[in-house]
Amino acid sequence: MSNNQIRANSILPAHREDIELHTADGVTLVGELARPLDRDPVATLVCLHPLPTHGGMMDSHVYRKAAWRLPALAGLAVLRFNTRGTSSVRGTSGGSFAKAVDERFDVAAAIEYAEFADLPDIWLVGWSFGTDLTLMYGLDPAVTGAILLSPPLRFSQPSHLAAWAEDGKPVTALIPEFDDYLRPAEAAERFAAIPQAEVVPMPGAKHLWVGDAEKVLNEIVRRVAPDVATPLPVTWDGPMETGDAAAYADRTVAAFDKG
């Protein structure tokens, strides 16, 4: 095959396995680990999804596309999972939604899994609710840094920002121009609490990143795998599968309007 266009539901070759995470408080979470087929990963994304009470899950579209494309295009390992009580095509995680309290155990279990699997250079990628989990519970010695997509700064407190500031790990916040919660000007003020934080306004984008997933993936790759050329290719000269978009359609956009 030559130069097929990479579309929203294109699945590029990777080693993909269903995984389970086991939390310290006895909950089993379902997830998936996607790794490059032909080489060791250069870095690892651990994805923390948007608010499950509004449709957020491991299959939320930016993370689905990351898992489907980035192992092949950027040499990344992508670990995504459903936090407690969250369902997706992969299945339903045990436990129940805990308003960013007991989810601390979910974050720890994901980092621990990546560590024990010897995955390199672990970056947390949070989206909306997942950014709060990242800021609150992601400051782990095994974590290289954090990338925040549409952070609402709703559950996280100034003390969490202060801890990241003190630690010095890299933090990048991608802020949609038309976000429902935190827009670029206010984000610059709020994240000034973390001197090393890079606040990146994303012109034209909205909270759900519909139509902007490619821009998000390019920004992520620039931070975690700087040796990989960006923008990433939009065609693929090789085998390519097609995902079942219908399985996600009702949950992709209608979904998590509140974070």
Structure tokens at 94: 């045990």
Is the pLDDT reported for residue 166 higher than 60? Answer: yes
pLDDT band at 254 (very low <50, low <70, confident <90, very high): very low
- For 115-134, the pLDDT digits (tens) are 999 999 999 999 999 999 99
pLDDT at 3: 76
Amino acid found at 239 = P
Cβ pair 55, 250 in contact under 8 A: no
Q: Looking up tokens 């608010």, which residue turns up?
A: 51
Structural domain harbouring 37: 4-252
Instruction: Single out the residue of 22, 70, 23 nearest to residue 42, CA to CA.
Output: 70
pLDDT at 1: 44
Instruction: Single out the residue of 220, 171, 219, 222 nearest to residue 193, CA to CA.
Output: 171
Give the β-pairing of 91-92 and 28-35.
unpaired
Least confident of 71-75, 101-105, 112-116, 252-256: 252-256
Distance CA 76, CA 36 (A): 7
- For 13-45, the pLDDT digits (tens) are 999 999 999 999 999 999 999 999 999 999 999
pLDDT band at 246 (very low <50, low <70, confident <90, very high): confident
Cβ pair 115, 50 in contact under 8 A: no
Per-residue pLDDT, averaged over 164-173, amounts to 98
Give the β-pairing of 87-88 and 91-92.
antiparallel
Distance CA 104, CA 140 (A): 12
Structure tokens at 126: 């949070």
Task: Give the global pTM.
Answer: 0.95
The CATH number of whichever domain residue 40 belongs to comes to 3.40.50.1820
Q: Tell me how many helices (H) and strands (E) the chain has.
A: 7, 14
**How many domains would you assign to the chain?**
1
Instruction: Reduce the DSSP state of residue 188 to 3 states and report it.
Output: helix
pLDDT at 190: 98
pLDDT at 249: 58
Cβ pair 198, 169 in contact under 8 A: no
CA atoms within 13 A on the CB side of 201: 11
